[in-house]
Structure 1
Amino acid sequence: MARQVRTGAKKTARVLAVTSGKGGVGKTNVAANLAICLSAAGKDVILFDADLGLANLDVLLPVKIRFNLAHVIAGKRRLAEIVQPGPGGIRLVCGASGITQMADLTEVQRQRLAQEMTQLEYKADVIVIDTGAGISRNVLGFCQSADHTLVVTTTEPTSITDAYAVIKALNQGTERLKISLLTNMVENRDQAQKVYQRLAFAGERFLNCAIYDAGYVLRDNHLSQAVHQRKPVVLAFPRCPASYCFVALAQKLIRAGKKEPAGAGFFRKVINWFF
């Protein structure tokens, strides 16, 4: 696939964090399929697995992860060596449990890691961050450093409540964040709209924040079939209902990105967050 040729001043990647209030809502599936759809739209995409301690992209995707960020921290590999090709033209970085070790790094190690990680921002158009679930310090650090955070929920009451908890936690800082909501595994559009309207109303009334509507992904048996095949559904079944939803999501985020400034110092923000 042809990529845009960069000329002149280097531009940093736009960073999208994909997160959720609880596990089991399809967050990693969303991140992987979104990354592939962005790639299909002509973007140079890196998918960064930051689900610390529970990294599972190698389970969902037909890839074998040999090295992760822990090897970079230990000085055993350069960051460029752990970036590997993935399906659909994307590239992958596995975070594993490496970032949980950052509190024990020396100042020299921190600076080296910051320099290594910052280089990624000049090697892609978009970096999709698959965070962990919940409101841990690790999750909030990635989301609050990103240009745009996509919160994934389902129609289940507990999932909606946990999504609100994430949005509330993200709004505790002084900086206003761009937050969008994606409702996964819905039966129809009306069902998704009810979830969005409920959370958007709560966000505006109690948190004084705007929550944007990223759309929805329909409940689709092709998704579970694709997982069993270890293939993203947009590649395994490109014409199924869920795949069309992922394409629509990617197009919506591309349009939104044209109105947002390019990312600036994402990984330095993340590293600073931990100290």
Structure 2
Amino acid sequence: MSDDQATKLRRLMHKVRQTRTIAVASGKGGVGKSNIALNLSILLSAAGNRVALVDADLGLANLDVLLDVDVRANLSHVIAGSRKLEDVVVDLPCGVQFVPGASGIAQLANLSEFQRAALLDQLASLETDNDLIVVDCGAGIGRDVLQMVAGSDNALIVANPEPPAITDAYALIKVLKRHGYTGTISLLVNMAGDRQEARATFQRIAGVARQFLDVRVIDAGHVLADQKVRDAVRRRQPFVLEYPRCQASRCLAALANKLCQGSWLVGQKEGFFQRVANWFG
């Protein structure tokens, strides 16, 4: 990220000072959702924002792999009672507070109500320490995904131009509508071949959502397909740090800019994690 970008983002972010939550979700896997959540968090932190990144993909958590972080404790240890949340949180060099998930641990994907309540009670402390909480949700429309998205102020849905991703993104919007989701819904088109393809993909999803669901989907922009992203993943480094001037980094910086302006970010009085705990009663 260039110094000019960071300065501009800090100036804009100064106007937005309340804890808000962004749930990054997708209708299907393989669209780059986790990579977007990670790199967006870094850009928002570079703006002078206090950011917590929560790996809430309880079945297939992988942010620690993208970060090349040796995680010795995660959410499963918090649930088991062997660790407190403060022992699990990793303070990344980029300034982001990272809460690792628990990849492959089956019990995390099927929490009892008691375990879920205990976990969410500890996670609520993150809201007192941060301005923004970015939640990397699992892919699809499962119960845990819906619970995390439903509790957020802002749902950022990531899709790519492939037909299955388009169909599944619409399905996620449809389910959120059915459950009475009241936050904002925005769409980021990832891995687009060019601006025209990205625009056509957004218009297709947003148009159908408006016509059949009466849902307004906000255009969060796009991230162009970029070999540098793949190179960064292989190196297990965030692409906005490894290649700050590549086209993917510039595209994502445009989204961070929009979020710092607060043009559509909303916040609610009740805390995110409390809303998550209450969503399914």
Structure 1 position 160 matched with structure 2 position 137? no
Amino acid paired to 1:59 = V
Q: Which residue of 2 aligns with 1:238?
A: 244
Amino acid paired to 2:143 = R
Q: How many residues align?
A: 265
Amino acid paired to 2:266 = E
Q: Which whole-Å deviations, capped at 9, do the CAs of 1:157-190 have from their partners, x for residues lacking one?
A: 1110111001111111234231000000112211
Q: Which residue of 2 aligns with 1:100?
A: 109
SS in 1 for 2:253: helix
Q: Let me know the Cα RMSD of the aligned residues.
A: 2.1
Q: Which whole-Å deviations, capped at 9, do the CAs of 1:192-218 have from their partners, x for residues lacking one?
A: 111111111111110011000000001
Structure 1 position 208 matched with structure 2 position 214? yes
Amino acid paired to 1:66 = R
C-alpha distance 130-188 of structure 1, shift in aligned 2 (>3 A)? same
Report the Cα distance in structure 2 between the residues aligned to 1:110 and 1:144, rounded to whole angstroms: 15
Report the Cα distance in structure 2 between the residues aligned to 1:263 and 1:229, rounded to whole angstroms: 41
Q: Which residue of 1 aligns with 2:187?
A: 181
Identify which of 108, 119, 125 aligns with 1:119.
125
Structure 1 residues 1-275: aligned runs within 5 Å: 13-96=19-102, 97=105, 99-103=108-112, 105=114, 112-256=118-262, 260-262=266-268, 264-275=270-281
SS in 1 for 2:35: helix
Q: Which whole-Å deviations, capped at 9, do the CAs of 1:120-162 have from their partners, x for residues lacking one?
A: 1111111100000000011000001001010000011111011
Residue segments in structure 1 that go unaligned for 5+ positions in a row:
5-10
Q: Which whole-Å deviations, capped at 9, do the CAs of 1:28-66 have from their partners, x for residues lacking one?
A: 000000000001111111110011110001111121111
C-alpha distance 113-154 of structure 1, shift in aligned 2 (>3 A)? closer
SS in 2 for 1:43: coil
Report the Cα distance in structure 2 between the residues aligned to 1:271 and 1:144, rounded to whole angstroms: 10
Tell me how far 1:102 sits from its aligned partner. 2.9
Conserved in 2, the CA contact under 8 Å of 1:49 and 1:131? yes
Identity of counterpart residues, as a percentage? 48
Report the Cα distance in structure 1 between the residues aligned to 2:93 and 2:62, rounded to whole angstroms: 15
Q: Which residue of 2 aligns with 1:8?
A: none
C-alpha distance 47-168 of structure 1, shift in aligned 2 (>3 A)? same
SS in 2 for 1:171: helix
SS in 1 for 2:124: helix
Report the Cα distance in structure 1 between the residues aligned to 2:253 and 2:99, rounded to whole angstroms: 23
The TM-score normalised by the length of structure 1 is: 0.90
Report the Cα distance in structure 1 between the residues aligned to 2:269 and 2:194, rounded to whole angstroms: 34
Conserved in 2, the CA contact under 8 Å of 1:12 and 1:264? no
Report the Cα distance in structure 2 between the residues aligned to 1:20 and 1:31, rounded to whole angstroms: 11
Conserved in 2, the CA contact under 8 Å of 1:14 and 1:263? no
Amino acid paired to 2:111 = M
C-alpha distance 197-63 of structure 1, shift in aligned 2 (>3 A)? same
